[in-house]
Structure formats: C-alpha cells, structure tokens
Amino acid sequence: KAGVTQTPRYLIKTRGQQVTLSCSPISGHRSVSWYQQTPGQGLQFLFEYFSETQRNKGNFPGRFSGRQFSNSRSEMNVSTLELGDSALYLCASSITGGRPNEKLFFGSGTQLSVL
Amino acid sequence: QQQVKQSPQSLIVQKGGISIINCAYENTAFDYFPWYQQFPGKGPALLIAIRPDVSEKKEGRFTISFNKSAKQFSLHIMDSQPGDSATYFCAASKAAGNKLTFGGGTRVLVKP
C-alpha cells in the first residue's frame, strides 16, 4: 500500500507569490491534515479536511487555505507569500480522524523556500 | 501559548543505554498522547501512544509513562541503538481527531 504522497518535494518561490501544494492520502483514508514544521515554531497544525469539508482549523492567517476533493486528495494554498512561510509542509492522513487511537500517517513533506 | 513542553532539546546516549524524554501539558481536555519519531528528510512516524486511563504502555523497547495528576508523560527508549538516532516529538490531542499539539522535539543521538 502506498504511503502519503506529497508533491512537489521542493519548491522555491519569491515574496508575494502564491503556491499550491498537493497531497494524496493513503488509499481508503478520508481524513487529511496539514502541518507546518519550522525550526523556530516546531510542528503546528494548519487544518484538517474530511469528506471535502474543513473540520478543524489551526491559528494561521487566512492566506493559508486548503481544499479536499471527492477522491480525498487535498491541496493547500498559500497566497501572498512571506519570508516566514519558509517551512516544511507536512500532510497526514487517517481513515476517519474521528476515532480514538486512530493512527495518523505523515508524508515526507514539501520543503518551501520563500526568497 | 505552548501547550506541550518537551525536554530535553537534545540527548546523547551510549549504545545500550536508556533515553528518557519528558513532556508536560497544560490542557486537561487532552486525552490522547502519541509519540512520533522523525528521521531527516522524512515525515514523523507514530511510535507509540497512550490514553490517560493507563499509567504505562510498553511496545518493544519503547515505554510511555503517564502521570495524569502531574500532567506529565515520558518516553523511555531501552537498550538504545544507533538506528534510534532521530528527533522525537510528543504530542497531545482532544479525543479523536487529528489536531495534534506537538512538543518542541528532542534530538537523540545514540553513540556506538
């Protein structure tokens, strides 16, 4: 069974641009979450999607948005990029995200550099 | 507000030794406490998890100890091996759901 797949692996953008990151969850998983990882702030929850609906949201500005498609694949978008948005963006999936002890599987992430 | 505090930030242990990582949380609504292991260039991988109705859980060389009254939990890695060299994160969440609050991470180096 393939794991969580994130594309692209690396991305370089300039300030003010926008970026879209893609995530394909494990087959059969319907919950997709996004996390930002930086050396300074660590791992921070961005949002979670289930059945094409945002179910949970972290404390990030509105420039960060996401969506989920009917096949559970998800994309996140960051508009008007700032230098501080440079980070490893991780996608994680689970079967439903709604049951205790349900395992969460992470992808290898997209490393975004904003110049 | 850092709701999960993790210590130490880094740890060096000899092969065969015990690695101990501690975490403290503030939100009493948390009731699921997983530990993740992350290697360079990879995403975090679930290692072991515990719920607050259990004081200890062991899986192979990895043990979680949980102290609900103190709002603390810890990871013990017994017989540490060089392949255990990685960054370890504790986390917490409210019941089911994937909104995890992570600790700051501990970089563990196991010397042969």
Query: Which tens digit of pLDDT belongs to each residue from A4-26?
Result: 999 999 999 999 999 999 999 99
Closest CA to A91 of A11, A36, A28, A52: A36
Confidence tier at B101 by pLDDT (50, 70, 90): very high
A52-78: pLDDT as tens digits: 999 989 999 999 999 999 999 999 999
Q: Across the interface, do B97 and A104 touch by the CB < 8 Å criterion?
A: no
Q: Which helix (H) or strand (E) holds B87?
A: strand B86-92
Q: Across the interface, do A106 and B43 touch by the CB < 8 Å criterion?
A: yes
Quick one: CA torsion of B6, A26, A66, A6, rounded to 10 degrees? 80
Closest CA to A75 of A15, A32, A13, A11: A32
Residues 7-36 of chain A whose Cβ lies under 8 A from any Cβ of chain B? 31, 33, 35
Distance CA A67, CA A76 (A): 6
